[in-house]
Amino acid sequence: MRASVLRNGSMVYRDDVPEPEPGPDQVLIEVDACGVCGGDLHFAQHSSTLVELAGQMSGAPSLTDGLDLGQDVFMGHEYTGEVVAAGPGTDAPAPGTIVTSMPALISDRGMEPRLYSNTLPGGYAEQMLLSAPLVLTVPNGLDPRLAALTEPMAVGLHAVNKADITPGTGAIVIGSGPAGLAVIAELAAAGVAPIVASDFSPARRQLAEAMGAHAVVDPATEEIFDVWRRTGSGVPVVFEAVGVPGMLDSILRQTPFSTRVIVVGGVMEPDQLRPYFGIAKEAEFRFVQAYTPDEFAETLRQIADGELNVAPWITAEVGLEDVGKAFEELGNPEKHCKILVRPNA
């Protein structure tokens, strides 16, 4: 079958990938849509550094455990598709049903994330396998392209849940890329106000407003904390969704006393900060990633029930041959937010 794979830092089109065969408790789907995640771009550029960093870490599994960068890597973890078949004795939706699932596989070792794999095709392929217990039926009538945004939106719901925002507290969202936009949409859905968001890109600021931000800031001309102080809304919860070095220190310097900072942006490089500022402010950092199965299911429900306005995210659709081009084009925030790969369209 056809697929786009990561090879030596580039996305390469292949038409010779073996078709996956569903085993027990597995469901085979024909992929309808798969969003290109900023994390995939990042991984394509920095995969060897990420594997090296994971090796320096103990105490928790990493997303790259067992991965061999000398071989092709399958990616694509924001998908929907149509059920084709199921493994022997597997309880699965009927063929033709549109489904999604969080990007994980259940094995003897429990539930393991499946974002990068040498052996298992992901959403940048014609077909892929899901674990039956994780499969969610896309509610009748919801466009599979919108349902494919469940995964990135669930990141926002998880971040907002982790923030434990008390009633009456507003939020600052620094950075309005997909992660920041998901946070804004989920904050708005939770009734948090005001939401003040920033981004250097005018297009992204417009999207931030479409997602529910009450005020948007261009950091080239204004400091978001100055804007916040003008609104006079007390101590915000701050979401860091830029993911470049220096942001955490900048937040600590400017934020009010007793601020909780939810770190969504994944800086891979060494980052420098002054703990002194954290102490002086009694600040709190909560680093977050991904979501729980319940949060994933809840996000799908929110989209299906029209509580999240995700349609404006989708700025292009491409076939498997053009995944590499999509990776390049996503560097321009004026032009693109979310590109969907549609392997079978």
Site residues (vs a second copy, CB under 8 A): 50, 53-54, 56-60, 62-63, 225, 243, 248, 253-257, 263, 265-289
Residue 271 CB, shortest distance to a second copy, in Å, is: 5
In terms of CB distance, is 44 or 142 closer to a second copy? 44
Residue 201 CB, shortest distance to a second copy, in Å, is: 22
- DSSP lists the bridge partners of residue 81 as 31, 99
In terms of CB distance, is 257 or 334 closer to a second copy? 257
Residue 204 CB, shortest distance to a second copy, in Å, is: 21
In terms of CB distance, is 262 or 326 closer to a second copy? 262
Give dist(CA 73, CA 8) in Å, integer.
9
Side-chain half-sphere exposure of 210, counting CA atoms within 13 A: 16
Residue 283 CB, shortest distance to a second copy, in Å, is: 5
Residue 109 CB, shortest distance to a second copy, in Å, is: 15
Residue 183 CB, shortest distance to a second copy, in Å, is: 15
Give dist(CA 299, CA 101) in Å, integer.
11
Give dist(CA 121, CA 128) in Å, integer.
6
Contact 123, 79 (CB under 8 A): yes
In terms of CB distance, is 96 or 270 closer to a second copy? 270
In terms of CB distance, is 41 or 54 closer to a second copy? 54
Q: What own/partner pairs with CB < 8 Å and gap ≥ 24 does 56-64 have?
A: 61/112, 63/113, 63/115, 63/116, 64/116
Residue 308 DSSP one-character state: S
Residue 125 DSSP one-character state: B
Give dist(CA 222, CA 198) in Å, integer.
9
In terms of CB distance, is 228 or 327 closer to a second copy? 228
Give dist(CA 155, CA 149) in Å, integer.
10
Residue 169 CB, shortest distance to a second copy, in Å, is: 16
In terms of CB distance, is 48 or 332 closer to a second copy? 48
Give dist(CA 292, CA 30) in Å, integer.
25
Give dist(CA 279, CA 249) in Å, integer.
12
Give dist(CA 119, CA 39) in Å, integer.
20
